[in-house]
Amino acid sequence: MKTKLWNPCVYARNARYVSELGMPVLDLLDPQPGERVLDLGCGDGKLTMVLRDRGCQPVGIDSSGEFIAAARALGLDVRKQDARELHFENEFDAVFSNAVLHWIAEPDLVIGHVYRALRQGGRFVGEFGGFGNCRAIERALVDELELRGIDASMASPWYFPTTGEYQDKLVAAGFGVPYIELIPRPTPLPKGMPGFLETFADDFASLIAANQRGEFLAAVCDRLEPLLRRSNEWIADYVRLRFEACKS
């Protein structure tokens, strides 16, 4: 199983906005004091901490040992675990996930594990990249790879489904789906496109020889500039898929 390597310092520098913009999905979860909540893909624990501050008993899991160390330093109950290998059964009132599910190419496996982890009546509330998310960025990465003679058809690690596709998967696992929506969300990038690519595009860049990666990433930025840069600000073409599913 492929697992992306994360650097918590790089993430905090370039992509803090990802957890900050996760507040609406946390509000959709509407966590109640005393609830046991699994934070699936807790990263460095910033939203797990909000769950704790709201009186929940959150448990975070993440496949990145570096992220788990950062979250543990905040005093959180977190475990290094891959979402494709969860073993919880009827334990949680809710499973919450922000900005993680697009990294996992086996959605049915994850949804099945989440269903098992929830108690009867529990809810699965999440948000991740939906159909069309960062399409211009993905296209530019693929085009620049192909310009260099690299077959980029399998390069993307990202899973950005339609609402129909994801709803079908949730229902097939046994969930009811009271809410699912695609939300276009043009997103200013605090560290520009270079910061975005440094944080999220290493699966593409790693196909290029190390001494040519700088030139490759600069070419991707040049290609995107007319599309995503306005008066000195980079705005990424995010589209979120937000949902609530219930185990009834």
* Positions in the binding site for ligand BEZ (CB under 6 A): 18, 99, 102, 129, 133-134, 158, 200
Which lies closer to ligand BEZ via its Cβ, residue 48 or residue 133?
133
CB of 160 to ligand BEZ, least distance (A): 8
Nearer to ligand BEZ (CB atom), residue 19 or residue 86: 19
CB of residue 83 to ligand BEZ, shortest distance in Å: 15
Q: Amino acid identity, residue 96? A: F
- Beta carbon of residue 158, minimum distance to ligand BEZ (angstroms, whole number): 5
Which residues lie closer than 8 Å to 165 by C-beta, 6 or more apart?
131
DSSP 4-48: ----HHHHHHHHHHHHHTTHHHHHHH---TT-EEEEET-TTSHHH
Angle at which helices 65-72 and 8-20 cross, to 10°: 70
User: Looking at beta carbons only, is 47 or 246 nearer to ligand BEZ?
Assistant: 47
Nearest-approach distance from CB 77 to ligand BEZ, in angstroms: 23
Residue 234 burial (C-beta neighbours within 10 Å; 0-12, 13-18, 19+): buried
In terms of phi and psi (left: phi > 0; alpha: psi -120 to 50; beta: otherwise), the region of 78 is beta
CB nearer ligand BEZ, residue 18 or residue 224: 18
Cα gap 61→43, rounded to integer Å: 8
Which ranges in the chain belong to alpha helices (H)? Answer: 8-20, 23-29, 46-53, 65-72, 107-117, 135-147, 163-173, 192-200, 202-205, 213-228
* Of 240 and 247, CB closest to ligand BEZ: 240
Contact 124, 244 (CB under 8 A): yes
CB of 135 to ligand BEZ, least distance (A): 10
Output 17 or 88, the one with its CB closest to ligand BEZ: 17
CB nearer to ligand BEZ: give 42 or 173: 42
Residue 175 sits at φ, ψ, to 5 deg, of -80, 150
In angstroms, rounded to a whole number, what is the distance separating the alpha carbons of residues 111 and 243? 13
Residue nearest to ligand BEZ (CB): 99
